[in-house]
Structure 1
Amino acid sequence: MKVIVLGAGVIGVTTAWYLAKLGHEVEVIDRQPAAGLETSFANAGQVSPGYSTPWAAPGLPVKALKWMLGRHSPLVIRPEALDMAMLRWIGGLLLNCNEHDYDINKSRMLRIAEYSRDCLTALRDETGITYDDRQKGLIQLFRTDTQIGHASEDMRLLSDSGIPHDLFTVDQILEREPGLKGARALLKGGLYLPGDESGDAHMFTQRLAQKAEELGVTFRYETTIEAIDASADTILGVRTSEGRLTADAYVLALGSYSPQILRPLGIRLPVYPVKGYSLTLPVTDEDRAPVSTVNDETFKVAITRLGDRIRIGGTAELTGFDLRLSPDRRETLELSFSELYGGGDLSQATYWAGLRPNTPDGTPIVGPSKKFGNLWLNTGHGTLGWTMAAGSGRILADQIHGRKPNIPVLDLSVDRYVRAFA
């Protein structure tokens, strides 16, 4: 079967890889000159199944109002970008801010994230691929007793899902992350997730794309996707800047841009871009640098070691598709890093912003499109695209191939958003 994959980010490339491994003829289309140059380019670098948590949580509306009053808020809403798409997405988010939906959403996020980590491990063993990866766990850092108290619910769900975790004292944190010793007075404790990993998603995506090419996958870079042609129930082809392309099946893996390409087909996909920022800087002092990866719960900032570099990522900004770099957001990233570590040269940092494709319930949309028999969706992974990429790609390849996936997947499909279709 010939399959066209729309999008060469980490989601599209992993999907193409697994399809090629199953013997399919695969073609990947992307507007960029190489793989992994948009949202996959400079994310936080965390493969964090244990930290897979929906934003839609009990108490979020009150927290969000308090956050937005602060100078270093982890959440920013730009009023000038307010439109119906943002309002619908916020409305869907608020509907999920209750204990019942939170438990359901987090449980299925943990399921796909854990499976994805296992798929990534197998892929790494099979190919020998490296990407400044480390398998040293993650620590969620708490600066207040209130934060520790709120973690108890997440620990219950982690236990229910069989995911190893420990509530660390400050001494236990410093044993694993000695670079935090200068921040001892700021810390109250931490949630340790030994199964979490880290690595450079951009490096991984580009190297896996090379290996996919060796399997026969064709990559059409610098090719703009203009529209999808369809009949009542079948995709007929893709119009691009390089002409019309056809296949037996089509995979949509365009992240935040997925709704734009589907809207003319009568599909309203509940995915909205949430802008995130990162800094990448060289390590200058090993004694004050991270060993693995930590999440600063106060500022919602991730700090990750990638080889001889440090990646600082975080913040959430609702501003449509605006990719301009905000000085205020950079200040927040720098503050979190300076208070905790400091062993990197911020003056040499590369500042970047990308758009995370978020669903209202936090779970990605992986599976058949419902309306068209040969259109498949792999999008909406939010902040966890890197974490869920290998598993999502494997699941979708299995489904297209007609093989039963290794985990339950019905609740990952767009069917849970039936009312979102126009």
Structure 2
Amino acid sequence: MRVLVVGNGGREHALVWKVKQSPLVKEVYCASGNAGIGKIATRVNISPTDIYNLVRFAKEKNIDLTIVGPEQPLSEGITDRFEAEGLKIFGHKKAAAVLEASKVFAKNFMKKYSVPTAKFESFDNEKEAIEFIKSVGAPIVIKADGLAAGKGVVVAKTEEEAFQAVKDMFAGKFGPASKRVVIEEFLEGEEASYICFVKDDKFLPMPTSQDHKRAFDNDEGPNTGGMGAYSPTSLITPQIEKEIQERIILPTLKGMINEGRPMSGFLYAGLMIGPKGINVLEFNVRMGDPETQPIMRRLKSDLVEHILQILEGDIDNVKPQWIEDYAIGVVMASKGYPDSYQKGFEITGIDEAEKDPDVVVFHAGTEEKDGKVITNGGRVLTVTATGKDINQAREKVYAAVEKIHFEGAFYRKDIGFREVNRFKNKA
């Protein structure tokens, strides 16, 4: 088989890494990939959103399966176009991708189908949004309606912060994505990620995970696309998982069918678990980044085989196997991320870090130049490690991180800290 993975980030490197292990696969291509992906697959110089040329390439190369990593091509209709040409592709159609592409759609959908979520209002007018904030006070959450690479959310602790966030968004901070905003109540608790393979009204859960969205230790600083993740999280007990499936995943899949928007691909529910129960913060129509990296490290069985079975409508008989170990990923980012940052710095020490057989370094914002790997993005690498428990996995991952260097590198030193605390309390 020939497989094409669409995307450039750490998530796509992890998917390519796993696809490459399949005995069914002869060749792996990635559009357009990064320096790490280029070491294990053939990079294709086509943008993930250049759907016309991706279709042309897939036909020319007789691609047997395409797996879509990021949300943008899904929301622009890549699946619709591929299927119209008789090409096999794993990812939601444009009509279903709106669940992530519009937060206003998602919130109204959740309200309609009684999927638990924070109370909210949506606005396309700055003055009205500010008046609303004055009437309800802070803390409060401001979200850009459209796709903003995971950065279009501001958790405002004060009304002044909230006013500024609204002004920034309507001034075009996230381009067309913030022409409308959603303002919702602030929910206390702890976040978790719940990701499934889905097909119509059926789903197959992956192991639980927890992302760390804030830029700095102790969950301080601005929201980012994610600074690290681990899997599994004991925050999601069997009882909580049952509730997530019955009250969130199943009603969502059935509701989307009812809306004429059936789902086929990955479904990610970003959850808040706290005093107000389990609530959906957001839906994504693709795997999370950085959650994909530790989750793929734990998958023992064949990802490609599973996807083919799901596409054939046989999701009930898909039986993935997962290792018992914990897996953790720590993002190494460029100084200044998630705002402006410089590119082009040489990265050293990756080979040294990967001498530990339990460590795999996934590239995100990297490029190759004159035989050297250089920085080419905000989130540069996700260093992953596995261990028999959260403490061992953390020890290994941070030992690996310390071996890798590039100018301006920064990373959180507390990924998995909540799990460590739970682990201590159990002991």
Report the TM-score, using the length of structure 2 for normalisation. Answer: 0.28
Return the structure number with greater helix share.
Answer: 1
TM-score normalised to structure 1 length: 0.28
Whose relative contact order is higher, 1 or 2, with alpha carbons under 8 Å and at least 6 apart? 1
